Structure 1
Amino acid sequence: MDWLRSDDAVWEQNMDILTFDPIQCQVLTIARDKTGIHTRRVSLTSDQDWESWLATDPLKPAPESSSQINLVVGARAPVEPLEPAAVSYLPFSESTFRKLIDVFRIHGTIARTINRNTDLYNCRSSASWAGDLAMSVTFCPSSLISHVVMYGCDEDITNQIVRRLSNSDLLELHPMVPVALFAELEWNRLDKLVHEKTTALLQRIVNMMNCLDPTMGRNRGEAPSLASSIRDCLEMGNLKNVLQAFKRKVVDMIQHADELEVDVFNPSEGPGGETVLSEAQLHGLKDSGFKIKDRLKHLVDELEGRVQKCEGIINGVSLASQLTAFSMTPSR
């Protein structure tokens, strides 16, 4: 897990691919104690805001807390929706970001990750469509504190993050909570895309079939061009590939949750040999980990269903296009 440590050399190589544009961000501290989940939320914009916030030592464990998540919700830059490098526009100045690198122990490889148009576990969603996100996570086993920065969050995503974390009923704030939340947000985006594109392509198939129906008379309409049908199939094929890639990453998340349970949350040795967790903490982490893995397994099944749906639509458009082309071929 080398990616969880800060690396100054990597940062110096990667800093030039980022763009800094200070805008208002939300910073959340979510702590779990015996009475439940407690959330603190502040809004920060200027360097002075960040300086004042960092001066309060905000990342120290909250009193009586057993686990905690410190989360910077990086606002999305005001760029074009399909700008592939949107999340590389960071909502703070370079000097503030360098301080966050140190405090949140952000590894330098996240710079390349958020500037890459791929779906990576460390953590980046596809930029082929609007609403892509990136995330970096650092977990401290000795204190059960997760330091998280999410990049590219618009107002709706920010509100979802705040609502979901504030209303959580988990017994402990497992370090996979932000990762599972990232997966949920990406699933919602992809599921909406599948619905929109399959609905449009189903209508296209209906239009093609109408062109083949002699009973439609003048209402048969004009068949979509071959070029547009090919374009639609390619776009749906790309969406299917993204779904498959994301499904593999969710499987990786499940495996990582299992590794944490075996290697870190060990009642006999304690995390990293530093602090032995209490029985209540171990029980809470195990219960939370089980719920997270159960949800991720459900996402795997849902993603497989959407992949099959995409395949069905692609086959339908292909067949309808062939039939339409054949019907328009002059008979000899």
Structure 2
Amino acid sequence: MSWLNRHPHLRDQDLELLDFEPHPNEIFIISFPARPHKSNSDSGSNTEHITTPRTNRKVIAGESDLEQWLTQLSGNSPEHGVSTNGTSGDPSTINLILASQMSSLDELPFTKNAYRAIMSHMKMHGSIVRAINRNTSCNVSSLPCSWPCGDSTAPSITGSWEGDMALSVTFFPNTLTTNAVWYGLDMKEHRTYGHSLTNADIITSRLANFDGKCLHPLILPTVFAEFERERHVALVRKYSTQLVQRIHDLAYPDLHQSKETETISSKPSSKRPSRDYDLTKKLKALLPNFQRGFETEKAAAAEHNPSVSETSHRARCVERKKEPEPAVVLWQNTSFLSNGLRNWQTQLRKMLLQVQELDDTNFGIDTIDRNAQVELKLARLREVGGRIETKVQDLIDEYDEHIRQCNHITEGLRLATQLVSERL
């Protein structure tokens, strides 16, 4: 009912939708200076502007630590949204809470009081609770709202994303401050990019290596979309592997039998119809086509992530040791995945529209007195916005390929099943 009532605060009935179990979490702060410092070149005649972010990352072990950090956050950035256009400018900042993954997304690693404090101090929109509770579908949404800040109001732009992970972002345009909570983040180390890293390590390192001059409000949602992309591609590869293995088993039904039995059974008997032999020939002819499709998908994934080849090889070995799932289960899983990829692609298109909407509305920055400081803010935000727009469009285009791969799997299952049914 957000179109009827856009009340931003967390309600008591919303909290009843969540479970709470305290667990260690992490916080990460990254801030870019309002004015990049100058560095002299070797010749001494030219200077270049260098933007070096300040970062701070630490573990929040208990409610008292969290409360202390939230109080400090409010003190360092009073009211978060007070305009300072007349000053030398504010740094561009992201204050991010990385919430640990629990048994389900609607189980939060905080106490109820701590979560109330997070929502209040960081000005998180209460609609994120509904998004977390409905965690069976994907959604990208945004809405402008006004938060009470003493005797004045300051606009903010809020977005919430639902799924196996969730992200709530609030952007204060006049101070270029972004507050965010990333829910359901797996904190266990796993092998990626040749190192043992947690997802928190990957997120914070990507933000720390950002070479822009301003932190756009959609930077975190774009990183979130990249994480979802990697998870989705892994599922497509998994089902592709299962399809190739299933057709391989149908094409070589006697592979696991003794050589003597295989030799006898692989030759068509003159006393019976050769239908089984013809079926095997058809499946053997079919197998290379799906193997090529799988290798193409694997190569594309390996180019994006150097560790993918080794990981997928180990995954295939594990897959082969397990009993194969029934064909109908593989078909059902692939169909669900294909529908999910289409739904997520639709949400990415909404994110793309948000990039343009932010640009058209000057990011909510007060432009009545368009001085040099305001123009500098807008120029920096638009430069980063152009990068985000390109990245999101690339993701949208890439999902077309993954959706076609899912269709390839379902068609392969249908064809293999049809060939097998001819023998019955």
Matched pairs, number: 308
Q: Tell me what 1:50 maps to.
A: 66
Q: Secondary structure at the match of 1:149?
A: strand
Q: 1:87 aligns with which of 63, 83, 105?
A: 105
Distance 1:232 1:274, change over 3 A: farther
1:237 aligned residue: 335
Which structure features the higher share of helix residues? Answer: 1
Q: Secondary structure at the match of 1:151?
A: strand
Matched to 2:339, the amino acid is N
Q: Distance in 2 between matches of 1:234 and 1:275?
A: 56
2:206 counterpart (139, 164, 167): 164
Where does residue 119 of structure 2 map in the other structure?
101
Q: How large is the Cα RMSD of the aligned pairs?
A: 3.0
The match for 1:119 is 138
1:141 aligns to 2:173 (yes or no): yes
Deviation at 1:108, TM superposition (A): 1.7
- In structure 2, what is the equivalent of residue 195 of structure 1? 237
Look up the match of 1:66.
Answer: 91
Q: 1:96 to 1:216 in 2, by over 3 A?
A: farther
Q: Percent identity among equivalent residues?
A: 27
Normalised TM-score (structure 2): 0.66
- Go from structure 1 to structure 2 and tell me whether the alpha carbon gap of 1:275 and 1:118 turns closer, same or farther (over 3 Å shift): farther
Q: CA separation in 2, counterparts of 1:312 and 1:217?
A: 34
SS in 2 for 1:95: helix
Unaligned runs of 5+ in 1: 80-85, 127-131
Higher Rg: 2
> C-alpha separation between the residues in 1 aligned to 2:254 and 2:410?
19
Q: Structure 1 216/21 Cα, relative in aligned 2: closer, same or farther at 3 Å? A: farther
The aligned counterpart of 1:32 is 32
Aligned to 1:174: 216
> What SS class does the counterpart of residue 169 from structure 1 fall into?
coil
CA gap 1:167/1:198 in 2 versus in 1, 3 angstroms: same
In structure 2, give the amino acid aligned to 1:280. L
Question: In the alignment, which residue of structure 1 is the partner of 2:185?
Answer: 153
Measured at CA, do residues 208 and 104 of structure 1 come closer, stay the same or move farther in structure 2, by a change above 3 Å?
A: same
Q: Does 1:306 align with 2:402?
A: yes
Equivalent runs, 1:193-272 vs 2, <5 Å: 193-211=235-253, 218=265, 228-265=326-363, 270-271=365-366
How far apart, CA to CA, are the structure 2 residues paired with 1:264 and 1:105? Answer: 21
Matched-pair contact (CA < 8 Å) for 1:66–1:281: no
SS at match of 2:139: coil
Gaps of 5+ in 2: 37-50, 79-87, 142-159, 188-197, 256-261, 267-276, 284-322
After superposition, give the CA deviation of every residue in 1:223-269 in whole Å (9 maximum; x if it has no partner).
Answer: 9x999111111110001111111111111111001000011348xxx
| Deviation (angstroms), 1:65 | 4.6
Partner of 2:296: none
SS at match of 1:310: helix
**Higher-strand-fraction structure:** 2
Partner-residue secondary structure (3-state), 1:56: helix
Supply the distance in 2 between the matched residues of 1:90 and 1:253 (Cα, whole angstroms): 26
What secondary structure does 2:422 align onto?
A: helix
Rounded to whole Å, the distance in 2 between the matches of 1:212 and 1:271 is 74
Distance 1:249 1:272, change over 3 A: farther
| SS of corresponding position for 1:50 | helix
1:76 maps to amino acid: Q
* Residue of structure 2 equivalent to 1:7: 8
Q: 1:170 to 1:164 in 2, by over 3 A?
A: same
**CA–CA distance in structure 2, aligned partners of residues 136 and 121 of structure 1:** 10
Return the offset for 1:59: 7.0
Q: Any idea what SS the aligned residue of 1:68 has?
A: strand
* Preserved contact between residue 6 and residue 101 of structure 1 (Cα < 8 Å): no
Match in the other structure for 1:83? none
Q: How many angstroms does 1:111 deviate by?
A: 1.0
Q: 1:30-88 deviations in whole A, cap 9, x for unaligned?
A: 111123222111211212111221232357359975311111111112x3xxxxxx121
Q: Contact between 1:142 and 1:274, CA under 8 Å: does it hold in 2?
A: no
Q: CA deviation at 1:106?
A: 1.6
1:226 and 1:103 mapped to 2: Cα distance?
Answer: 51
**Cα separation, 1, equivalents of 2:407 and 2:185:** 31
**Deviations, residues 134-193 of structure 1 (Å, cap 9, x unaligned):** 111111111111110010111222111111111111221000001101101111111111
TM-score w.r.t. structure 1 length? 0.84
**The residue matched to 2:57 in structure 1 has which SS?**
strand
Provide the rounded CA distance (Å) in 1 between the counterparts of 2:115 and 2:7.
13
Distance 1:55 1:207, change over 3 A: same
CA distance in 1: counterparts of 2:391 and 2:75, whole angstroms = 29
Aligned-partner SS, 1:242 = helix
Residue number in structure 1 paired with 2:228: 186
